[in-house]
Every structure is written in structure tokens, then in C-alpha cells.
Amino acid sequence: MKFVTSKTMRTIDSECIDNLEIPGLKLMENAGVGTVRFIERELGPQKGKIVTVVCGKGNNGGDGFVIARELRRLGATVSVYLVGHRDDVSGDAGTNLGRLGLESVVELSDGRSVAGFVEVMTKSDFIVDAVFGTGFNGVPRGLSGTVIGQMNSCGRPVLAVDVPSGLNATTGIAEGECVNAAWTCTMGLSKRGFYIDHGRACVGKLHVVDIGIPRKAIETVGVRDNVLTMRDAAGLLPARPFDGHKGTFGTVVVVAGSVGYTGAAALTAASALRSGAGLVYLGVPSSLNDIMEVKLTEVVTRPIAETAARSLSPESLPDIRELLENADVLALGPGISGDQETQSLVRSIVAEVSVPCVIDADGLNALTPESIGQRTGDAPVVLTPHPGEMARLAGCSVRDVLADREGVARATAASARATVVLKGVASIVAAPSGELYMNPTGNSGLASGGTGDVLTGVIAAFLGQGVEATRAAALGVYVHGMAGDLAAEALGEAGMIAGDVLDHVPYALMELGEVNR
């Protein structure tokens, strides 16, 4: 599913109205009618329902007027309030105010009118918020802030039209009062701010209303930003043929671990198996092999040459080449340490890697985007940095990364000829082509040591099963976050550890598989 910023949405609207000659009034009508159809599906027949619709003076209010008119047509008792004066409503919104009936709309202009509004709201089955739309920026001031606060405190569920009023649709930040919606019906395309900061908490159940924007308009503007829905993620799952065997589902080679960091190697290898890989081989420093034999019953371990510091040695390169001869994918880096000899080994492996490769943790610290981009092979590479690793790769500060996560990830993906997974709240997946995914799953329980190692294994497994690199990364991040959400439901966010996320990966895959049935 595509998502846009406020600026991009305005550009698309202009493309539809000015160049494709689609009347704005038609788009507004489609928005209102489509929202009412969602209300009927979600809340049942509207005959006899009591509804309060709260409108602003702009086009978002115009959508609200259409919604009110349609709900009345269906037999609901609808009270309509306008934050402002009827004379200030113009354009398409003014037309729909006229169609609804000027005198049927109550102006909210002072404390007395607000008191009556609150009394009506508390008797409603639900409230429709159509005060501010996609273009809102800043703090709801004066009466509008009061009205939003009253909607939140009245104890009735709120359906937001396009954007919860008070939320910046681009940044996801609510600087003041913001509607806490049970549902949000957004118009045409989803909005960036729904997946970050306050947006994650106040949008509620999201529905994108088809308002008749042609695909041509989206292509002309060049929307390259995506977010996976559950159905999207389910559609990316690799097939599981009934007559498949170990080789059918991919062979993953994990090169990882050093003294003190055996857990990282174990989590990566185990998560690859839990994500559907047929075979997993783990290459570890030779003195650690016995530990891994005990920790990992189902993984084939291979002791390889180590340094004096008990990390992987450059002398292990021939053994790693041999492991990769029958591999479908390589997972490189978890727990390998910052030892200079080991870092040299990483550069040698990446320079010649001929199978798809996921690089994480200390594997990233050995590299630059230029060294990755100059590799001799064309096999796809996926990089999975956290913001600190991303800053080092991109040659900027962590603050710079956090200020422009999409831009930094895209630039690094292009220079490295690799898919970049920038981890964090709403992780970013950027392809070398400029295509981008923002992840909607996950919670604070994932902020725990080892969860990134689990993610590396999940992505590697999907690559090994033949999923294209950027989509394997996007699917992997989605499944990993979903496993974290399932773990949080069972255990709470504070007490979760990486092993809990690993244990819930199969349940996430089961839920996604059910979507396809």
C-alpha cells in the first residue's frame, strides 16, 4: 500500500483536478460516500443510530457534510456542528454545506454552544471528526482545541475523516490536542504520519477510502513509498509446496559469533529455521563450536579458523567458500566482534560473495557503502543497520539520520547497490532503485539485545526461499515486528527478550498464512 506526505497528497489532488479534469466536488463526494460505506460495514445499519458530526471550515469539513447527508439518508439521527461560522465555508465545502442545509448546522462559537455540543455528543453512538485534514500543521488553538479535547473526553468512539484532527499527517506529531480515533478513514492514499510518533497511537483502525484517484496521477507524481498491510505481507510469503523437501526451502549459511557473543550466532541461525529455511549451516570460531552444538540441535555447525581473540580469522576464508558452494543465502556479521583480522575477513567475503547476503552488526562496521557497491558479483545484498551503524555508513551524525531516515536510507542504498533496512520505530526498507517501505508492526519490547539477530535470520530465510531482496527485507521486518507484537500480548513489552520474539515467529507466519486461505 502506498503512503504519502501532505505535500505529495496536495500534488496528487492538483494533478487530478487541474490536469486530469476530475472535479474536486466529485472527489469530495466519493470521500464522504466511501466513508459511510465503511461505517455501514464496521458498525452495521445506520437506521436509528445517533451520530454527531463535527466539521471544520475547509475541505475536511466538506467531507463531513457529505457524510452527515448520507447518514441522514440511511435513517440516522445526525447532529452537525461547525467549528466556526457558516459564512466562512466556501468552495466545494460550501457547496456541500448548502446541499446539507445551512440551518441544520450548528455553529460552535462560544462556551454556551460548546456546552450544548458536549451534551449531544454524550448521547451519540459515535462521533465523526472532520475538523482538520491532511494540510493541518501546528497546534489547534482556541475553540478548535477545546472541541478536540471534548471529543476525546466524552466517552464515545470517534471516527476521524482523513486524519485525526490535531495530527500532522507528515511528521506524525501532535503538538497539542489531537483526536484519539477508534477508526480513521483516510482519503485516496495512506499518510506517512500514521506510522510514526503520535500517529501510531491516535489513528486507530485505518481504512483507505477509494475516492477515484487514477493510477496515472500516482505514477505521474512518482509515489515510491509503501507500507505493508497484513494482506500485502501475506501475499509475499514464499510458497510451501506439499511435496517440498529441505532443498526446496533454501540453504542458509550463517557466519557469526565470537567469544562472548555466541548468543547472536545462535539467534540468527535458529530464526532462519523458524522462518521456513530448509537447512541452516553455522560457521563459528573453532573453539566455540562445542557450545553451538549444544545450543542448536537442528543447525549444522562448522568450526572454522579463529584468531587469538577467538573471533573469525582470515584463514577461514577457504572454509567459508566451501560452505557457500551449495548455499542459497549468506547471513554475515552477528556477534563477530570488531577484531581487525575479522573485519578484514568480512571485507574479503563481501568483495566476492556470489549468493544473496544479509549483513548485520559488526559485519557492517567493516564496510563502507563504496566497498559494498564495488563488490565483483551481482548477488543482492541486504544491510540491516541501527541508527548508529547507519550514521557511520552514511558519514553523518545519528541526529542527521533520525532527521531524515528515508533520505539517508535511500542514498546509502543507491551508493551501496544494496537494500538498506534502517531499524527503529517504523523501520525503513530502502531499495537501490529508490523504492521504500515503512514498517507498521512492532513495539518497545523489541528494544532488547538480540532482537536484531533474530531479524537477520528471518530476512535470510526469505531470501533463501526465493523472495526478491527488497521484498524479503520488507516481509522480514513485518514478520519480526508481528512476532514482537504477539510476544507482547502474551508477556508484556517490558519483560520481552529476543528469544520470545524468536518463539513467536512461527505464530506470526501462521496468522499471515491464514490470510491467504
Q: Report d(CA 362, CA 154) in Å as an integer.
A: 52
Q: Is residue 236 part of a domain?
A: no
Query: What number of other Cβ atoms are within 10 A of residue 294's Cβ?
Result: 9
Query: If pLDDT is split at 50, 70 and 90, which confidence band does 297 have?
Result: very high
155 lies in the same domain as 296: no
Q: What is the mean pLDDT of residues 161-176?
A: 97
First-residue to last-residue Cα distance in the chain: 21
Q: H or E segment at 269?
A: helix 262-274
Query: Distance of CA 327 to CAs 256, 277, 399, 511, Å?
Result: 16, 11, 38, 29
Q: Is residue 18 part of a domain?
A: yes
219 lies in the same domain as 248: no
266 lies in the same domain as 360: yes
Q: H or E segment at 208?
A: strand 205-209
Query: If pLDDT is split at 50, 70 and 90, which confidence band does 55 have?
Result: very high
Residue 111 has pLDDT above 80, yes or no: no
Do 505 and 480 meet the contact criterion of CB atoms below 8 Å apart? Answer: yes
Name the β-bridge partners of 253: 281, 330
Domain boundary among 188, 223, 258: 223
Residue 257 DSSP SS3: coil
266 lies in the same domain as 213: no
201 lies in the same domain as 287: no
Which residue range(s) make up the domain with 214?
3-223
- The upper half-sphere exposure of residue 333, i.e. CA atoms within 13 Å in the direction of its Cβ, equals 28
Q: Is residue 25 part of a domain?
A: yes
Residue 374 has pLDDT above 90, yes or no: no
| H-only helix segments in 78-161 | 91-100, 111-122, 143-153
Residue 250's pLDDT is what? Answer: 96
Q: H or E segment at 255?
A: strand 251-255
Q: What is the mean pLDDT of residues 427-451?
A: 97
Q: What is the mean pLDDT of residues 74-89?
A: 96
Residue 45 has pLDDT above 80, yes or no: yes
Lowest mean pLDDT among 240-244, 269-273, 420-424: 240-244
284 lies in the same domain as 138: no
Q: What is the CATH number of the domain that holds 165?
A: 3.40.50.10260
218 lies in the same domain as 248: no
| Cβ-proximal residues to 340 (8 Å cutoff; 6+ apart), any chain | none
Instruction: Name the average pLDDT for the chain.
Output: 96
Q: Is residue 233 part of a domain?
A: no
Q: What is the CATH number of the domain that holds 499?
A: 3.40.1190.20
Q: What is the mean pLDDT of residues 194-207?
A: 96
Residue 211's pLDDT is what? Answer: 98
Residue 268 has pLDDT above 80, yes or no: yes
Q: Report d(CA 184, CA 164) in Å as an integer.
A: 7
Residue 110 has pLDDT above 80, yes or no: no
Q: How many domains does the chain have?
A: 2
Lookup: cell for 418:
544494496
250 lies in the same domain as 219: no
Query: Distance of CA 304 to CAs 232, 245, 483, Å?
Result: 40, 28, 33
Q: Residue with C-alpha cell 535458529?
A: 270
Q: Which one is predicted more confidently, 110 or 305?
A: 305
Q: Is residue 239 part of a domain?
A: no
Q: What is the mean pLDDT of residues 297-324?
A: 97
Residue 319's pLDDT is what? Answer: 96
Render pLDDT for 327-368 as a digit per residue (tens, 0 to 9). 999 999 999 999 999 999 999 999 999 999 999 999 999 999
Q: Is residue 228 part of a domain?
A: no
Residue 240 has pLDDT above 80, yes or no: yes
195 lies in the same domain as 309: no
Residue 434's pLDDT is what? Answer: 95
Q: Report d(CA 143, CA 486) in Å as an integer.
A: 41
Query: What number of other Cβ atoms are within 10 A of residue 155's Cβ?
Result: 7
Query: What number of other Cβ atoms are within 10 A of residue 104's Cβ?
Result: 14
| H-only helix segments in 19-58 | 24-43
- The DSSP letter of residue 378 is -
pTM of the model: 0.94
Lowest mean pLDDT among 49-63, 142-156, 368-382, 430-444: 368-382
30 lies in the same domain as 62: yes
Q: Is residue 118 part of a domain?
A: yes
385 lies in the same domain as 484: yes
| Edge-to-edge strands, sheet with 77-83 | 105-108, 77-83, 50-55, 126-130, 158-161, 183-187, 205-209
Share of the chain above pLDDT 70, in %: 100
Q: Is residue 86 part of a domain?
A: yes
Render pLDDT for 217-236 as a digit per residue (tens, 0 to 9). 999 999 999 999 999 999 99
Domain boundary among 223, 258, 285: 223
Residue 369's pLDDT is what? Answer: 87
Which residue in 406, 452, 454 sits closest to 429, CA to CA? 406
Residue 517's pLDDT is what? Answer: 79
365 lies in the same domain as 300: yes
Residue 103's pLDDT is what? Answer: 86
Residue 187 has pLDDT above 80, yes or no: yes
Which residue in 456, 440, 458, 452 sits closest to 497, CA to CA? 452
Residue 320 DSSP SS3: helix
| Cβ-proximal residues to 371 (8 Å cutoff; 6+ apart), any chain | 347, 350, 351
Residue 183 has pLDDT above 80, yes or no: yes
Q: Report d(CA 235, CA 228) in Å as an integer.
A: 10
